[in-house]
Amino acid sequence: IKDATLKRLQDYSGTKQRLSQLLDEKQQRELEQELEEERPPPVTPCEPILHEEIK
């Protein structure tokens, strides 16, 4: 697999560094997607209740 990957990189004028960058970008997108999925649902704020003495 390693040789096939290196050959394909050479065929497309790529480098190991470029492959690493592409993998990093993919991992970053996956992480961002996971963070978006884990966000809690939006909430509505409570109406403040003030005592008459404070108003």
51 within a domain of the structure (yes/no): no
Residue 52, sorted as left (phi over 0), alpha (psi -120 to 50) or beta, turns out to be: alpha
46 within a domain of the structure (yes/no): no
**DSSP code of 22?**
H
45 within a domain of the structure (yes/no): no
* Contact between residue 9 and residue 20 where contact means Cβ atoms under 8 Å apart: no
53 within a domain of the structure (yes/no): no
d(CA 31, CA 24): 10
The alpha carbon dihedral of 5, 7, 10, 11 has a sign of negative
Residue 26's domain comprises 2-35
Tens digit of each residue's pLDDT (9 = 90 or more) over 1-33: 678 877 777 776 666 677 677 778 888 888 888
29 within a domain of the structure (yes/no): yes
- Give the pTM: 0.35
22 within a domain of the structure (yes/no): yes
24 within a domain of the structure (yes/no): yes
48 or 5: which leads in pLDDT: 48
Total domain count, the chain:
1
